[in-house]
Amino acid sequence: MSVARDEDSGDDAEAFTTIYRRYHTRVLGYALVHSRRDVAEDIAHETFLTAWRKLEEIPSDDPLPWLLGVARNHRLKQLAAGHRREAIAERIERLSDERDTAAWDTGDLVVERAAGLAAFASLPETDAEVLILSAWYGLSAARAATVLRCTKALYYVRLHRARRRLARALQERTHSPAARLDLVEGNRS
């Protein structure tokens, strides 16, 4: 019998609230053992989002192992995403080395390779993903939105914000207001 169908639990929202209140601290604690606070909070959030979506699958007798298994899966996914991001940064660096150039030419903007890599590496995973889909894979807004499972409009918002964060990070590393303006204004798709 699942938690959602347990007669003592009432409706789905009540059952979920009971599980959340009882186990959130323990799931967050598990995630904190393995990750930084901000990442651990994301893992706990994703775990309970999954729990809400799969409420009927949660064992009514002991939900904690199920929840920790879900948290582990989310932690491993985030770890893999971090490795992919590092691999992409290494690939960019390797390609830059192969070109034997000390700068990236991005249209009207020339950025020192080290500053560009450092700026990209400093971005949150979500920003890096949006920029990679756009710049690295060259996906259209509609296709990138499909990958991210969001609307095209939301994709444009996320892309705009990611570009602005990258521009700020570049500005901090190059101290060039022109670089920031060119990156934000000149690379619109």
Backbone φ/ψ region at 185: left (φ over 0), alpha (ψ -120 to 50), beta: alpha
Q: Give the number of other CB atoms < 10 A from CB of residue 19.
A: 24
Determine the pLDDT at residue 119.
85
- Residue 48's SS3 state is helix
**50-78: per-residue pLDDT in tens?**
999 999 999 988 899 999 999 988 888 88
162, 130 Cβ separation under 8 angstroms: yes
Percent helix / strand / coil, the chain, rounded to 5:
75, 5, 20
**136-160: per-residue pLDDT in tens?**
777 888 888 888 889 999 999 999 9
Q: CA–CA separation, 170 vs 33, rounded Å?
A: 33
Q: Is the model's pTM score more than 0.95?
A: no
Q: CA–CA separation, 189 vs 187, rounded Å?
A: 6
Determine the pLDDT at residue 165.
93
